[in-house]
Structure 1
């Protein structure tokens, strides 16, 4: 399990402060929210909980105190709009499974509030530069071989536009795809509403949520029956982003998992064995 370090504490609290700013909280509310979340974090950090479980509780507390259920709404819309524009530019150049995976991994950089990570202001130029660099870990050939029945665990808005391209590629090859998104707003993660706005309910075989509430990553004990059943019958789980990695990478009771992500922090870099900033398609069987 990735442990909560001092860097993790700083990152979580900096994200709470970002949420206060996005919610246009006054200084008093910002201080009260930050203090409450910090106190909760120190009460939770030594319990046998995963990093995503702790972070989920912190951010739910912040939303409650801010009286704002979706402070990232504008950034989510902005990310989707930017990604749609870039997808129109790059889609004709995407040919292979590796191309579509790499595009979806570059999309994973739409992640606000991770300390030391900045969402680019010129995503089109950034995409072209990152596409040339490729994947630091590239298990795409082995991943595609397993992709007959896929459970796809999504992550952020913006990113999900590129996920749609990858899912369409998988469907064109005959894959059965179950897509799991968030039931309720959490950070800038894609929700059921976002997925439907992008028409993903008409593309995938099954669109579901990862739980009934607002949860970062995936807590297997809280998954709805439809997702639990899909996981039990799938040949491959595609897990997008660091939170899904942190939730699942120590489990040994699951189907093969393809972790598709941009590595944005040192604890996850250490756990995955690559430098911060790496883009990976890592298969664990």
Structure 2
């Protein structure tokens, strides 16, 4: 996906949000936002740059001015703690592949700073209401037969706890799974530290990163480490969580079958997918 002008204010509002997590001076926050806006304006001159690449450059600029490597750190840890409590309540009711996928998609709503998306303060009530509604796009019957050798791209903290449930299910069905987290902190996305803390290395066959340490959103195939490149070459299915991974991976034509699992949080992605904003989808692109 290429960057859409309608996405400008959402991106810059997220810059302001992350700056506000660290800085308590409105003038300093506005300075960060202005600098990020300048990076965005310069990047928009190249229409070939995918939206996640441009957004990554904007956030790198913001992080350098904020002066903190991971402004979301405390929030990410709290998200994981909240999710661990939530899964204790919901896990006993999950039985089928569709159940586990739906739970993982609902976990994608742990996403702070998205302008048009509100994170619920009562996730268990939200889950109880939304889970019976199912998925607006439900390709789980087509996805399951492909679940043999999987590369699983994670997204947010909190959400990754629900991914852990799905990963255990996939392993119990005999799948081989490579889990992929961000190569460096960016937004509230899960990193290797989160994966190891949650024990994903004891569930998956291998855990790796989207980059060799660069701070990037989505997936940029020119930056992936060798072990991820090898896993992608031999896999039967890619599972990609969240909108940034959707925006990135839809740029590639010569790519394995991909199941996009996400809550659709903005009108731009809603239009691309063909569903109303707020929809929950498990969309297979093969």
> Which of 145-154 and 212-221 deviates more?
212-221
Contact 1:2 1:268 in 2 (8 A): no
Task: Give the structure 2 partner of residue 36 of structure 1.
Answer: 35
Confirm whether residue 251 of structure 1 aligns to residue 252 of structure 2.
Answer: yes
Question: Residues of 2 paired with 1:43 and 1:153: CA distance?
Answer: 29
Question: Residues of 1 paired with 2:244 and 2:30: CA distance?
Answer: 27
Question: Residues of 1 paired with 2:62 and 2:251: CA distance?
Answer: 29
Deviations 1:231-266 (A, max 9, x none): 000000000000010101242201100000000011
Confirm whether residue 231 of structure 1 aligns to residue 232 of structure 2.
Answer: yes
Question: Residues of 2 paired with 1:280 and 1:193: CA distance?
Answer: 28
> Which of 164-173 and 121-130 deviates more?
121-130
Contact 1:157 1:188 in 2 (8 A): yes
Please give the root-mean-square deviation of Cα atoms over the aligned residues, in Å: 0.9
Task: Give the structure 1 partner of residue 265 of structure 2.
Answer: 264
Contact 1:25 1:66 in 2 (8 A): no
Confirm whether residue 117 of structure 1 aligns to residue 99 of structure 2.
Answer: no
Contact 2:240 2:246 in 1 (8 A): yes
Q: Kindly state the Cα deviation for residue 96 of structure 1 after the two structures are TM-superposed.
A: 0.1
Task: Give the structure 2 partner of residue 160 of structure 1.
Answer: 160
Q: How many residues align?
A: 284
Contact 1:2 1:271 in 2 (8 A): no
Question: Residues of 1 paired with 2:66 and 2:5: CA distance?
Answer: 26
Question: Residues of 1 paired with 2:24 and 2:187: CA distance?
Answer: 16
Question: Residues of 2 paired with 1:29 and 1:61: CA distance?
Answer: 14
Task: Give the structure 2 partner of residue 12 of structure 1.
Answer: 11
Q: Where do 4+ consecutive residues of structure 1 move more than 4 Å? A: none
Task: Give the structure 1 partner of residue 52 of structure 2.
Answer: 52
Task: Give the structure 1 partner of residue 139 of structure 2.
Answer: 139
Q: Kindly state the Cα deviation for residue 204 of structure 1 after the two structures are TM-superposed.
A: 0.4
SS in 2 for 1:221: coil
Task: Give the structure 2 partner of residue 241 of structure 1.
Answer: 242
Question: Residues of 2 paired with 1:169 and 1:231: CA distance?
Answer: 21
Q: Kindly state the Cα deviation for residue 24 of structure 1 after the two structures are TM-superposed.
A: 2.3
Any stretches of 5+ residues in structure 2 without a counterpart?
none
Q: TM-score, normalised by structure 1?
A: 0.98
Any stretches of 5+ residues in structure 1 without a counterpart?
none
Question: Residues of 2 paired with 1:11 and 1:152: CA distance?
Answer: 27
> Which of 18-27 and 165-174 deviates more?
18-27
Question: Residues of 2 paired with 1:215 and 1:4: CA distance?
Answer: 19
Question: Residues of 1 paired with 2:72 and 2:208: CA distance?
Answer: 22
> Which of 223-232 and 110-119 deviates more?
110-119
Contact 2:50 2:251 in 1 (8 A): no
Deviations 1:14-55 (A, max 9, x none): 001101110124233212111100111111123111111111
Task: Give the structure 1 partner of residue 175 of structure 2.
Answer: 175
Question: Residues of 2 paired with 1:231 and 1:174: CA distance?
Answer: 18
Query: Aligned runs of 1:181-200 on 2, under 5 Å?
Result: 181-200=181-200
Q: Kindly state the Cα deviation for residue 108 of structure 1 after the two structures are TM-superposed.
A: 0.4
